[in-house]
């Protein structure tokens, strides 16, 4: 099973301003993000991120939203909960997917990267620099060799780049 990591980032590599503020992410990026998630059909998101943007971004309509959480939540035909990464992967497989989009938060991104599941990264750079924030690659403890494969979107509010994970 493989994953595409989709992350919005400041120019200096933060996915939030401070601990939780992602209000700077452009509406254009939110639309591109939702379209990409719908096309993939399945996303993996952490509970804090899911709850913080509930009814704003999540659940992403038209995609299965697998929420990584130590606590169960209200499930429906598009929202599913899993207590750990292995259970989430089992759920994603049971839903009929062999790949998914990892969307955050920081902890989930770190787990998926550390497990070696990411083979593609989409990073949406926004024209901001923050003194503090959560790093885009979360608790990732390794190194990745990436190959730039193209510009997905160029807009005054963002630059969305695609990378393949080489090793």
Q: What is the pTM of this model?
A: 0.94
Q: Would the pLDDT of 139 be above 90?
A: no
Q: Does an H or E element contain 51, and which?
A: helix 47-52
Question: Two tokens at 42?
Answer: 């399945």
Give the residue among 48, 165, 166, 23 at the shortest CA–CA distance from 103.
48
Is residue 138 predicted with pLDDT exceeding 90?
A: no
Give the percent of the chain with pLDDT over 70.
100
- For 160, the enclosing helix (H) or strand (E) is strand 158-165
The residue whose two tokens read 């790949």 is 99
Please say if the pLDDT value at position 111 is more than 90.
yes
Q: What is the pLDDT of residues 63-99, one digit of tens each?
A: 999 999 999 888 899 999 999 999 999 999 999 999 9
Q: How far apart (Å, rounded) are the C-alpha atoms in residues 46 and 134?
A: 14
Residue 159 has pLDDT above 90, yes or no: yes
What digits encode the pLDDT tens for the residues 23-67?
999 999 999 999 999 999 999 999 999 999 999 999 999 999 999
Backbone phi and psi for residue 64, each to the nearest 5 degrees, phi listed first: -75, 125
Cβ burial 38-63 (10 Å sphere, 16+ → b, else e): eebbbbbbbbbbbebbeeebbbbeeb
The sign of the torsion formed by the CA atoms of 101, 140, 52, 13 equals negative
């Amino acid at each position: 099973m493989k994953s595409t990591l989709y992350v919005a980032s400041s120019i200096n590599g933060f996915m939030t301003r401070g601990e939780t503020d992602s209000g700077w992410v452009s509406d254009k990026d939110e639309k591109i993000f939702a379209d990409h998630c719908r096309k993939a059909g399945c996303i993996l998101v952490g509970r804090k991120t899911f709850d913080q943007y509930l009814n704003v971004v999540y659940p992403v309509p038209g995609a299965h939203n697998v929420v990584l959480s130590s606590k169960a939540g209200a499930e429906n035909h598009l929202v599913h909960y899993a207590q750990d990464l292995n259970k989430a992967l089992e759920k994603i497989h049971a839903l009929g997917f062999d790949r998914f989009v990892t969307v955050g938060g920081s902890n989930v991104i770190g787990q998926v990267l550390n497990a070696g599941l990411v083979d593609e990264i989409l990073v949406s750079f926004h024209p901001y620099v923050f003194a503090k924030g959560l790093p885009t690659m979360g608790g990732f403890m390794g190194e990745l060799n990436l190959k730039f494969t193209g510009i997905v979107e160029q807009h005054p509010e963002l630059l969305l780049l695609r990378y393949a994970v080489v090793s």
